[in-house]
Amino acid sequence: MARRHGAGAAVFAALGVFYWTAHSMMRPLVGTYVLSLGGTEVDASIALASFSIFPTVLAVLIGGFVDSWGGRPLLIAGGSLMLTGGALMVIPDLTTVVISQVLLGLGTLCVWVSLQASITSATGGLSRDDRARRIATFTVFVSFGQMVGPAVGGALQSLGGYVVAYSAYATLSLALLIVAIAAAPRSTVQRQGRGIPIIRPYAEAAALLKNRPVVIAVLLSFTALMLHDIRSAWQPLLLHGAGLEQWQIGLVISASALAGFGARPFFAPWLRVLGVPLFAGLVVVIGATTAMLATVAPGNMTFLIAIGVVNGLAVGFAQPLSLTLLSDEVPPTQLGIASGLRSAGNQAALLASPAAFGAVAALASLSVAFLVVGGSAALVGVVSATLLHFHRPASPPDGALDLPSSGALDVLVEGQASLQKETR
CATH 1.20.1250.20 fits 7-188+199-423, yes or no: yes
| pLDDT score of 391 | 67
Note the pLDDT of residue 414.
34
Q: Which residues, other chains included, contact 149 with Cβ-Cβ below 8 Å and sequence gap of 6+?
A: 20, 21, 22, 23, 24, 25, 26, 254, 257
Q: Which of 116, 72, 134 is nearest to 221 (CA)?
A: 116
**199 or 301: which carries more pLDDT confidence?**
301
pLDDT of residue 406: 32
Distance CA 272, CA 164 (A): 45
- Of residues 139 and 371, the one with the higher pLDDT is 371
User: pLDDT tens digits for 68-127?
Assistant: 787 888 999 999 999 999 999 999 999 999 999 999 999 999 998 888 877 776 555 556
Residue 52 CA to residue 350 CA, distance in Å, equals 6
* Alpha-carbon distances of 148 from 48, 111, 130, 237, 385, rounded to whole Å: 21, 19, 28, 20, 31
Per-residue pLDDT at 133 exceeds 80? no
The three-point CA angle 195-197-199 to 5° equals: 135
* Rounded CA separation 93/175 (Å): 26
pLDDT bin (cut points 50, 70, 90) of residue 129 is: low
- Measure the N-to-C terminal CA separation of the chain; round to a whole number of Å: 14
**pLDDT one-digit tens code per residue, 13-54:** 889 899 989 988 888 899 889 999 999 878 888 898 898 888
At position 20, the amino acid (one-letter code) is W
pLDDT in the model for residue 18: 93
Q: Which comes out higher in pLDDT, residue 373 or 319? A: 373
How many Å apart are CA 68 and CA 86, to the nearest integer? 29
Report the range of poorest mean pLDDT among 4-13, 33-42, 195-204, 262-271: 4-13
pLDDT at 411: 31
Mean pLDDT along residues 194-217: 78
Query: In the predicted model, what is the mean pLDDT of residues 395-419?
Result: 34
Asked if residue 149 has pLDDT above 80, the reply is yes
Confidence of residue 196 (pLDDT cuts 50, 70, 90): low
Q: How far apart are CA 83 and CA 103, in angstroms?
A: 9
Alpha carbons 362 and 381: distance in angstroms, whole number: 27
Of 64-73, 194-203, 225-234, 307-316, which one has max mean pLDDT? 307-316
For residue 246, the model assigns a pLDDT of 80
- Kindly list the distances between the CA atom of residue 110 and the CA atoms of 26, 82, 189, 337, in Å, as whole numbers in the listed order: 17, 10, 17, 12
Give the three-class secondary structure for 115: helix
How many Å apart are CA 369 and CA 361, to the nearest integer?
A: 6
pLDDT at 83: 96
In single-letter form, the type of residue at position 382 comes to V
The whole-number pLDDT of residue 366 equals 86
Domain ranges of the chain: 7-188+199-423
- CA dist 277 and 392 (Å) reads 12
Amino acid 423: pLDDT: 34
The 10s digit of each residue's pLDDT in 150-191 is 889 988 998 999 999 999 999 999 999 999 998 877 654 444
Q: Of residues 8 and 253, which shows the higher confidence score?
A: 253
pTM for this one?
0.66
Distance CA 129, CA 387 (A): 22
Position 91 scores a pLDDT of 93
Residue 288 has pLDDT above 50, yes or no: yes
pLDDT tens track for 294-325? 999 998 999 999 999 999 988 888 878 887 88
Say what the pLDDT of residue 193 is.
46
pLDDT digit string, tens, across residues 45-70: 889 889 888 888 888 888 888 877 87
Choice between 370 and 64, residue whose per-residue pLDDT is larger? 370
Residue 412 pLDDT exceeds 50: no
Position 160: which residue type? G
* Per-residue model confidence as pLDDT tens digits over 380-403: 889 888 888 876 554 443 333 333
Phi, psi of 142 (to 5 degrees): -60, -45
Higher-confidence residue of 301 and 348: namely: 301
The three-state DSSP-derived secondary structure of 292-309 is HHCCCCCCCHHHHHHHHH
Provide the sign of the torsion angle of the four alpha carbons 403, 218, 21, 115, taken in this order: positive
- 328: pLDDT strictly greater than 70: yes
Cα gap 87→96, rounded to integer Å? 11
pLDDT for the residue numbered 127:
60
